[in-house]
Each structure stands twice: as structure tokens, then as C-alpha cells.
């Protein structure tokens, strides 16, 4: 079971079942997401094109009927419908800061990593295919906190896994066999998640699979380390030494993109995997040990002066071959899609520049921009993975025709060009040079180009009316 072609994904389609308890509010929200999506980098008044329209937007966010949960609900429904067309869906969770330091007029902000920084935290679940096509936002949390009060925030990861298990149950009840895989970086390495998976399985319920990067060098149950003596560990009964001593499955090679101060490079890693049983930490002493698979991917001969790239991954799935281990690594690498989503949200949509007076107004606005950022990411990835599909799956007729005329100085063809051709044309308006060897456009040139394409389409439509 796999989708042969994506749906037409316009932003207003994602809110088609919106229910804010007032038909006028529903209509206004649909109009606003289309307006903001056309120019996501502009302030709300500038994007709206006039003060009357901007006031209508502010009234929408000020309404007690308009909440982040209500705005997200129809999109989540669409996301689940898309998920059911795929064999496997990866559900990626992560947290990012939204920094509103200096915007003291926003009521309700908390502190970030130090007391002088003000803002809130955003924790979404992004559903993608193994081919990295983003299907949508399943849920998200946003919260503020007093300074040095982060103790209970790990509950977000467990709640996210529990919600995904509920989605897994729903999908199976609909007679679809889609497998959901919960994915998280090191912050998600929580014994609660592993115990929850086991609990659901013992109850005969459908639990989502998980693939999580290990943070803790956990104590293992072994011949030398029985459950009764689990408080007295030795190095041989720890996670890392155990996997390091396991047989090698093989090697893998891939191109690591640049990040922060690290240059991009070709990486070769050795792969090792073993089934292990982890001992519950002290705060879970009433729980029993949990069996899972640990996979170690470690770089071979890293460049001098560079730290070796290494990942220890934990999963409930059994891994016996190199191909199985490579698939897990490929899934984990796709976790970067949520980092790209955050980049689009902050740099493309400029979410941290919003000027709203209360956090209750800010959260609905964040929801709309989160959907806008998702669609930019969708357009980027569908162009890479399905380049030969017609471009009218994601661009309106006026958009692709106007873009074609401006880029080619020729009349548009009768049939829409491919997504690959149109994405390159649109990205060209955002600064993509399309030289030989440039590869596929990135999200930044695409989101800039999409904004300009919206303007071109408006002019094209106006010119046709004058003919």
C-alpha cells in the first residue's frame, strides 16, 4: 500500500472542516491562512494589505472561540487520512524555542534558557514518509515556564508517544495496516516510553513502534548482572560497551550536510546491533526490565580535528541484518526534516517577529504559520521525490502560467510543466541559479520564490481581466 500521487494540497483545503462555532470565523480563518501563506515573511498588517483586513485578523486571534487546538484539528484529520495511504509513517517529535526577548508588550511569556530571555517552547509532531514527504502536523504543544522549572517537561515526549499509539489504534480500526514509528532525538530517551510500549502490547493493543537516539549509558540485565543485583553495575553491563563488543553488521556511506561550524563531508560508518534488556532507573524501581534493540553507527577514520559522527539508536524492532540496520539509520536521518520545518517557521515565516499583545493571541497565529511552514516543506520535498508529476498538483493555474511566462518569455504550454521544472522556475525567483551541479533548490529559495509567484499570479489574473 503506497500512494501513487499526492493530493492537491492548498492551505485552505487543510481547514475545510474547521469548526470554530461561527461560520464567519471559519471563513475568516480560511481567508487569513491564504493571505499569510502568500507572504509569510511579512508582518500581519503588511501581508493583509490594509488596516481593515489587519484588524479583522487581530479580531480573529482575539476571539475566545479561536484556539490553537481548533485550528489544528482539521489539518490533523487530513494528515491522518494521508497517513493511511502509506505502509510506514515516521512521526518525529522535537522542541524548539520561540524567542520574543524585547517584546515586553506580549503578556504571558516565560523564560528560556536564562532568565533575561523571554519566549515559549514549541513541541510539534511531524508525520513524514520514509521518502521524507511531510504529510502534516499531528499535534503540538506550546508552553511557557518560570526560570529553572524544566523538571516536568519530559512528560511531553511520553504524551506524544501515547497520542501516536492512539492514532495507531484508530488506523488499525479503520482496517488500514499503516505502521507508525515514533522518532525522537536524545531528549526522548525515556524509560517511560519503552515501558508504555510493553504495557500496550501486553494488553493486546496496537502500540506504535519507536526509534529513539540514546542519551543514557543504561545498565543492562546480563549473566553477570541479574535483576536482583541490578543496583551494582559493571562496565560490561552498560549499553555502550555491550554494543561496541557485538559483531559488526557492515558499513554505510552517505553525504553529511554542513551544520553549524561543521563542514559537509562524506561519512563512512560501521554498523553494530544487538538485542539488550535495559534495567529501569531508580525512579522506576517497581517496573520490570525492558527488552529492545540497540544500533550503533560510528564513523570510521573521521578527518583530523573532527569529532567522529556517532549515533546509538534504540528501537523495539528486531534488527538482524545490515539492510535492516541501514533502514533504521535512514529513518533516523530523516529526523532532520523537523529541523528544516523549524528553520522555515523562524527564518521564512519570521514567527519570532509577531507583534501580538497576549500569548492567547499568539498561539492561534503560531498554528496558522506552522501549517504554512509545513506546506513550504511539502512543496520542497514533493519536487525532489516526485519530479515528473504535473505542477498543478501544488500550484494554481494562474501561478504556474505567470511564473512560466516571466521565466521563459514565452506563452505557457497547454499542459502544466512537471513539478521539477516549476519548482526550479519558482526557486529562481528566490535566488536559485539552477547551474549544472547546483542540485535541487533548498527551502529558502523556494519560499522566497513562492511569495513572488503569488504576486505574479495576481498581476497575471488582473491583466487577463483587462483583455
Per-residue cell: 28: 475568516
Averaged pLDDT for residues 150-177: 88
Express each pLDDT in 421-452 by its tens digit. 999 999 999 999 888 877 888 888 888 888 88
**Maximal C-alpha separation, the chain:** 86
The continuous run of DSSP H or E covering 149 comes out as: none
pLDDT at residue number 146? 67
d(CA 140, CA 137): 8
Q: What are phi and psi of 92, to 5 degrees?
A: -100, 130
Express each pLDDT in 56-96 by its tens digit. 999 999 999 999 999 999 999 999 999 999 999 999 999 99
Cβ count within 10 A of residue 275: 12
d(CA 230, CA 280): 9
pLDDT at residue number 152? 64
Residue among 167, 190, 188 nearest 83 (CA): 167
Q: Choose between 231 and 124: higher pLDDT.
A: 124
| Whether this model's pTM surpasses 0.85 | yes
Contact call for residues 328 and 75 (beta carbons, < 8 A):
no
Q: Produce one character per residue of 397-408: b if its CB has 16 or more CB atoms within 10 Å, e if not.
A: ebbbbbbbebbe
Distance of CA 49 to the CA centre of its chain: 31
Averaged pLDDT for residues 126-148: 89
The answer, yes or no, to whether residue 225 has pLDDT greater than 60, is no
Averaged pLDDT for residues 163-186: 95
The continuous run of DSSP H or E covering 210 comes out as: strand 209-213
pLDDT at residue number 4? 46
Cβ count within 10 A of residue 198: 18
pLDDT at residue number 108? 87
Residue-range domains of the chain with CATH? 1-185+335-386 (no CATH), 211-322 (3.90.350.10), 389-466 (no CATH)
pLDDT at residue number 353? 92
Cβ count within 10 A of residue 286: 6
| Integer angstrom CA distances of residue 448 from 46, 314, 418, 432, 443 | 16, 38, 20, 10, 9
d(CA 390, CA 374): 20
pLDDT at residue number 260? 66
| Integer angstrom CA distances of residue 236 from 220, 232, 240 | 9, 12, 9
Amino acid at each position: 500500500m503506497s500512494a501513487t500521487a499526492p493530493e492537491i494540497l492548498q492551505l485552505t483545503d487543510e481547514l475545510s472542516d474547521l469548526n470554530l462555532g461561527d461560520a464567519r470565523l471559519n471563513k475568516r480563518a480560511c481567508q487569513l491562512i491564504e493571505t499569510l501563506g502568500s507572504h509569510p515573511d511579512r508582518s500581519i498588517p503588511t501581508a493583509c494589505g490594509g488596516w481593515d483586513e489587519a484588524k479583522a485578523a487581530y479580531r480573529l486571534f482575539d476571539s475566545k472561540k479561536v484556539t490553537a487546538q481548533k485550528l489544528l484539528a482539521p489539518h490533523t484529520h487530513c494528515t491522518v487520512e494521508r497517513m493511511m495511504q502509506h505502509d510506514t509513517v515516521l512521526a518525529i517529535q522535537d522542541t524548539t524555542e520561540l524567542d520574543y526577548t524585547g517584546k515586553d508588550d506580549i503578556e504571558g511569556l516565560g523564560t528560556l534558557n536564562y532568565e533575561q530571555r523571554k519566549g515559549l517552547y514549541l513541541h510539534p509532531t511531524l508525520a513524514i514518509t520514509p521518502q521524507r514527504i511531510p504529510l502534516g502536523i499531528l499535534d503540538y504543544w506550546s508552553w511557557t515556564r518560570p526560570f529553572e522549572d524544566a523538571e516536568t517537561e519530559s512528560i511531553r515526549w511520553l504524551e506524544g508517544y501515547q497520542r501516536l499509539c492512539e492514532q495507531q489504534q484508530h488506523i488499525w480500526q479503520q482496517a488500514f495496516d499503516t505502521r507508525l514509528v515514533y522518532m525522537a532525538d536524545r531528549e526522548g530517551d525515556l524509560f517511560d516510553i519503552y515501558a508504555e510500549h510493553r504495557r500496550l502490547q501486553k494488553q493486546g493493543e496496537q502500540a506504535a513502534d519507536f526509534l529513539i537516539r540514546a542519551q543514557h549509558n543504561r545498565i543492562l540485565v546480563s549473566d553477570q548482572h541479574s535483576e536482583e543485583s541490578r543496583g551494582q553495575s559493571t562496565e560490561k553491563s552498560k549499553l555502550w560497551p555491550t554494543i561496541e563488543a557485538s559483531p559488526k553488521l557492515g558499513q554505510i556511506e552517505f553525504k553529511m550536510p554542513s551544520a553549524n561550524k561543521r563542514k559537509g563531508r562524506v561519512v563512512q560508518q560501521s554498523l553494530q546491533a544487538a538485542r539488550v534488556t535495559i534495567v529501569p532507573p531508580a525512579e522506576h524501581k517497581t517496573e520490570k526490565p525492558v527488552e529492545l534493540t540497540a544500533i550503533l553507527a560510528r564513523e570510521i577514520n573521521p578527518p583530523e580535528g573532527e569529532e567522529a559522527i556517532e549515533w546509538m539508536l534504540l528501537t523495539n524492532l528486531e534488527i538482524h541484518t545490515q539492510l535492516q540496520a541501514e533502514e533504521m539509520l535512514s529513518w533516523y536521518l530523516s529526523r532532520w526534516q523537523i529541523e528544516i520545518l523549524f528553520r522555515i517557521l523562524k527564518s521564512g515565516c519570521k514567527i519570532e517577529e509577531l507583534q501580538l499583545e497576549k500569548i492567547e493571541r499568539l498561539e492561534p497565529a503560531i498554528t496558522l504559520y506552522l501549517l504554512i511552514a509545513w506546506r513550504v516543506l511539502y512543496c520542497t520535498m514533493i519536487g525532489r521525490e516526485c519530479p515528473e508529476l504535473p505542477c498543478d498538483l501544488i500550484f494554481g493555474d494562474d501561478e504556474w502560467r505567470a511564473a512560466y511566462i516571466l521565466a521563459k518569455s514565452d506563452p505557457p504550454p497547454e499542459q502544466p510543466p512537471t513539478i521539477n521544472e516549476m519548482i526550479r522556475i519558482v526557486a529562481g525567483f528566490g535566488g536559485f541559479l539552477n547551474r549544472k551541479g547546483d542540485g535541487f533548490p533548498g527551502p529558502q529559495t523556494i519560499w522566497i520564490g513562492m511569495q513572488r509567484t503569488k504576486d505574479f499570479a495576481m498581476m497575471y489574473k488582473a491583466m487577463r481581466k483587462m483583455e
